[in-house]
Amino acid sequence: MTQPDDHPDRPDGPRPDAAPTLAEDLLLLLFKPRSGTIAGEATLYYALAGALLADLALDGRLRTAPRWTGTVEVAAVSGTEPDDELLRTAWRYVADRPRGVQTVLAAIGPTLRQPVLDRLVARGDVRQERRRALGLIPTTALLDGGTGRRDSLLADVRAVLVDGVEPAPRTAALTALVWASGTLPELHPVIPWGTPVITRARELERGSWGAAAVGEAVTRTTIAVVSAVAASAVAQATSSGS
């Protein structure tokens, strides 16, 4: 019999009345309007799950706990269960006991793409258009919703990586997640792919946020999540290439 604490519930539908989660921002940033595709599909679920955990960490709802093996696990901070259904699902999964970060990513990530996309559609950031391939096969095309929110997110990330602007903690986490997921080259040429951008992205992955850091414990937890996303993405890429 399946144990409820070993398999998180599938998140419910979108909450367009609530502020966007970091996972929504990440998926919107990875959406490519010209092709109607999403960058990094092979590792997307790691990145989206990492974004949920990073959101929880930035809000002080998550903490890290070292394991005797030297790896890092995450645990929920008691009494901080969030209202947002996506975040609550992730929080509850680590509420009973601390779990390895990569274990959490693999557990909560696979069901996230559709509900996060549903939220973007509900907000109008992305449009879905029914079409027929070859005039017969029903398909759904993803189109830019025209809200301008993707352009705003992209400009924020570009300012950090190209112009050297000190990021707000949320932007720092978002940028670090894009880098960790291996999808940063997909944002070229708006964010030119080259040594300066790579160097700055690596600094963010290590938690070099300057005065924007939100406290040692919170930053440490967020960076642990980002590092786990990076490790998972590299492992997935290696596996796919073998």
Q: What is the reported pLDDT for 137?
A: 73
In the predicted model, what is the mean pLDDT of residues 77-102? Answer: 94
Q: Which residue has the higher pLDDT, 202 or 134?
A: 202
In the predicted model, what is the mean pLDDT of residues 119-129? Answer: 94
Please enumerate in sequence order all residues whose Cβ is within 8 A of that of 131, keeping only pairs 6 or more positions apart, or say none. 138, 139, 140, 141
CA dist., res. 44 & res. 27, Å (int): 8
Indicate if the pLDDT at residue 14 is higher than 50.
Answer: no
In the predicted model, what is the mean pLDDT of residues 166-174? Answer: 94
User: Looking up tokens 């005065």, which residue turns up?
Assistant: 211
Indicate if the pLDDT at residue 1 is higher than 50.
Answer: no
User: Which of 62-71, 91-100, 191-200 is the least confident region?
Assistant: 62-71
Task: Read off the pLDDT of residues 137-148 as tens digits, 9 standing for 90 and up.
Answer: 777 889 999 999
Q: What is the reported pLDDT for 3?
A: 39
CA dist., res. 76 & res. 91, Å (int): 6
> Mean pLDDT of all residues in the chain?
88
pTM greater than 0.75 (yes/no): yes
Tokens standing for residue 46 = 């790691």
| Residue percentage of the chain with pLDDT more than 70 | 90
Indicate if the pLDDT at residue 7 is higher than 50.
Answer: no
Indicate if the pLDDT at residue 162 is higher than 60.
Answer: yes
Which of 59, 50, 111, 113 lies closest to 82 in space, CA to CA? 59
Which of 111, 112, 99 lies closest to 6 in space, CA to CA? 99
